[in-house]
Amino acid sequence: MTREVDVLVVGAGPAGLAAAARLAAAGAGRIEVLDREQRAGGAPRHCAHGGFGTWLHPLTGPAYARLLTGATVRTGAVVRTGVTALDWTGPLSLATVSRDGPETITARAVLLATGCRERPRTARLIPGTRPAGVYTTGELQQAVHLYGQHIGTRAVIVGAEDVSYAAADTVRAAGAEVVAMLTDRPGARTSLARALDTRLRRRIPLLTHTTVTELLGHGRLSGVRVHHRDGRTTVLAADTVVFTGDFVPEHELARRGGLTLDPGTRGPAVDAGRRTSRPGVFAVGGLLHPGESAATAAREGARAAVAVGEWLAGAEWPDDDIGSPGGTVTRL
Same domain for 239 and 251, yes or no, is no
- Residue pLDDT, tens place only, 83-101: 999 999 999 999 999 999 9
DSSP E strand stretches across the chain: 2-10, 31-35, 52-53, 58-59, 78-81, 84-90, 93-98, 101-112, 116-118, 134-136, 154-158, 177-182, 206-207, 210-216, 223-228, 233-237, 240-243, 247-249, 281-283
Looking at the structure of the chain, the number of domains it has is 2
pLDDT at residue 273 is higher than 90: yes
Question: What is the overall mean pLDDT for the chain?
Answer: 91
In the chain, % of residues over pLDDT 90:
69
The answer to whether residue 300 sits within a structural domain is: yes
Of 186, 212, 243, which marks where a domain is finished? 243
Determine which of 22-26, 134-138, 326-330 has the lowest per-residue pLDDT on average. 326-330
Domain harbouring 128, CATH code:
3.50.50.60
Average pLDDT over residues 262-279: 94
Structural domain harbouring 254: 2-117+247-312
pLDDT at residue 53 is higher than 70: yes
Most confident of 143-152, 186-195, 303-312: 303-312
In the chain, % of residues over pLDDT 70:
96
- Residue pLDDT, tens place only, 114-169: 999 888 777 787 888 788 999 998 899 889 988 888 999 999 999 998 889 989 99
pLDDT at residue 213 is higher than 50: yes
The answer to whether residue 318 sits within a structural domain is: no
Average pLDDT over residues 261-273: 93
Dist CA 239 CA 237 (whole Å):
7
Average pLDDT over residues 164-182: 93
